[in-house]
Amino acid sequence: MTTALLENTTRTALWSGSVIDADVHANVPSLETLQKYQERVWVQWAQERGWAGPSGLKIAYPPNAPTTSRDEWRLDDGPPASDLGALQRHILDPWQVEKAVLNCYYAIDSLRHPDWAAALARSVNDWLVAEWLDRDPRLVGSLVVPARDPQAAADEIDRIGGHPGFKQVMLPVRSETLYGQRIWWPFFDAAVRNDLVVGMHWGGTPDGSPSTSGFPSWYVEEYAAETQVYAAQVISMIAEGVLRKFPELRISMLDCGFTWIPTWGWRMNKEWKGLRREIPWVDRPPMDLVREHFRFSVAPIDSGPPEHMAKIVEWLGTDDLLMFGTDYPHRHDDDIAEFLQVLPETMRANVMSETARRWYRL
């Protein structure tokens, strides 16, 4: 079976405890859907230009790619994950989900017009509240921000981040500048001030390379290489001092897997020992900071043979780092039953619900 589909079993046969899904998606059906949440000037602005939505959305999620949606979850009358009833039928009900963290990537970061990007983010957030969070108490949400403009992003957090349904603010992992740099500090200050987790998710501005060395030719290169960008963002936030400046900061890394963390941590810890004189504010090994300030959703698991996965889980060095997530509607053929068997008994409840419950204060 896969992480998301309960094939040939039942949810309680697989896992009898609580389930919190740390990563399900809501997609905007169309630009017209958002117009009742927008000021008239922006409705006219888009209509006069014949603008139908951010171009970056189809770059990050090609409409017909398997990674964009499982075939079982495609809808006849809209993009996948654009209907609350479908989410309830596909994930919330069969998995008996207690809480699910709803994430929307609408590629607002692909816009260069600062005022339009801010207005579009406001409309997406108001739509998320009205059409999703207010209609199913199992859902908590992630607000979106104009991610090219850190101050505008902070303003949007202060505008709506206090809504009780929002527990997280989303950033795309690809960005024009690394998130550790000081231009981003007003954003992190607003996230902490509003008691929100910062969720970093696959995708991002088309101007930002999905690898650390430039643009690839093929989607498979982009899809596989983007994990490198997650690692670069973690290194930046540690080395630039964000975690010292904001000691209460919580960051969720979503849709990036986790098998790369132990070897990355070994390398960072080793280099920190030799070079920490240039970053004296990093007062402990980087992997210790990861365990304190970061959590990771499990999908895609990238599991390999069970005996190898057992080693990787042991190398994480904590029971409190991973969170169950289906990444609905994206396709990952992870074997969650096999993964649960690999986990130590003391870790299973944390992965399936308790780490996310503590992290998001649910």
- Predicted local confidence at residue 4, as pLDDT: 77
- Predicted local confidence at residue 186, as pLDDT: 97
Instruction: Measure the CA–CA gap between 219 and 45, rounded to whole angstroms.
Output: 32
The residues with which 328 forms a beta bridge, in sequence order, are 24
| Cα angle: 215, vertex 220, 223; to 5 degrees | 75
> Could you tell me the two tokens for 95?
């998995």
Domains of the chain: 4-360 (3.20.20.140)
Predicted model pTM:
0.95
- Predicted local confidence at residue 1, as pLDDT: 55
**pLDDT average per 10 residues of sequence, the chain (362 residues):** 77 94 96 96 94 82 85 91 96 97 92 95 98 98 96 98 98 92 97 98 79 83 85 96 97 94 95 95 96 95 88 95 95 87 94 98 98
Beta-sheet strand order (sheet of 294-297)? 20-25, 99-103, 139-143, 166-174, 197-204, 251-254, 294-297, 322-323
- At what angle are helices 306-316 and 261-275 packed, to 10 degrees? 40
- Predicted local confidence at residue 333, as pLDDT: 80
Instruction: Measure the CA–CA gap between 250 and 293, rounded to whole angstroms.
Output: 5
- Predicted local confidence at residue 64, as pLDDT: 85
